[in-house]
Structure 1
């Protein structure tokens, strides 16, 4: 089934691309346009991105966009609880592929904290996120299990992470894959974004989205919590 044939909620706007490269370029141009508009309207812009391997081409394309990067704040939807120097660090990924050249002038607010425990690190990150301005653009990814950010099915804090009225900005989360210990923004904070894009690739991810639409329980597939909010899906085979 093509993405255009899926019965999406009225809040969802799907975009199909021929290749990952085309998706990355278009998403970067769209995100940059929204950041420019935010800077023009309010003097600053805030971008929250996801980690993993798939955003690299998007990060590199966005770094080439003409922006007043000194007026942009960048943060993460989630993080692995590893030092920035670690190969699995999302902050390290952003620094290597996005915050380069002129884009290095952006202010970065990371989630990782060196603390005695994952819960303590999440509490410190939660306090640090008081400094995060309102989110203008949020770019999410999604796993084959329907997780987004690090809101994983079966994670002990998932119910709190999905609550629309949660008082927390960041929570400790456990992933089924290594590294298991994660930090994730909560749905309550993620849902405040002015524009949200979900970037996914492959027929498998499209099948996951179709499965997510077949039920309403977000604890089984956390992406469900976002499919009835305004959401632009960027997809390629």
Structure 2
């Protein structure tokens, strides 16, 4: 009896991000399952934000990046964290160091953000990897996040997007270079999605940098008949 009680009510537990000792009950929310050390290194994005990309610190006005984005393609992005050193490290561990177990807590943060921002989507779709990169990495981090989010939000994950041309890493490119490299890189299969014109499609990805990848994915979905496309990212 004592062991059962300690397990469910007084066990030390583990931080869901770093794995360090952290006293928490199993049913606690995601932020309560994160230790104080990790929480201190994560910078959550709070309102007001840019209404289009979710960047914090803009006093609720459209930021410089979004002024140049075409209207009516990607209507809105929401993000959880600023892309600081610790957020970058978590994403690196998740994508390249085999810490796929991070998908659940990171997706919980994203699902919570979607709910808080009032986005009511009909379906989820993840940003795809080109088949060559998927074969090398073994998994698509955006798909893992979307799968967990779908379970939490009770939304279907519909994998209609494909990346038809490989691209070099985009992190060091300018917005103009990214746009040129990614133009036409994504397609929808089939070309028209049955029922796509009803409701909102929610794109998922790990990081919003310039928004070019999400913009091009949204463009492909809109061309296939999607009525409204929003997105959610872990970091911005």
TM-score, normalised by the number of residues in structure 2: 0.33
Answer with 1 or 2: which has the greater Rg: 2
- Between 1 and 2, higher relative CO (CA 8 Å, sep ≥ 6) is seen in 1
